[in-house]
Structure 1
């Protein structure tokens, strides 16, 4: 895996993790899990913990990066997620 694919994969994992754990668009999913399993359940904790979600996100994206990281499709997808993450960080710092 070359450095470009690694960095794009890193950015994609960061964005997906952020989406699941913090994004307002995923709040319904987090609420559903809390209602279904309880606020104090392990699964509710799992989907709000960046460290936890990051492990599972990485475990699903890294094999793809290894197998198809050199393709335009994978790089375009991960670049979109990486840029989205970076824009979010910049907006947070600049606001």
Structure 2
């Protein structure tokens, strides 16, 4: 297995591991109430972010540019996640 395939497998496993956290929490508490749509959206966001970071790692050769682009991608992920979770910007996406 090549290094690139190992990284792609790592992305998939990381997404599954991260999504298993709310799934397991739902078994023990009513505080976590995710629907199927929530898992699909978060899976899409996490997998898409992982693939974008992988694309940057493969295509951008200059280390400083690579780190900067990945930082912007991760900041965008966290802002979208926060908006969907609690509606910090008040967009219609958060239903707030």
Identify the TM-score tier after normalising by the shorter chain: 0.3 to 0.5
Question: Could you say which structure has the greater relative contact order, defined with CA pairs below 8 angstroms and 6 or more residues apart?
Answer: 1
**TM-score relative to the length of structure 1:** 0.32
Higher relative helix content: 1
TM-score, normalization: structure 2? 0.32
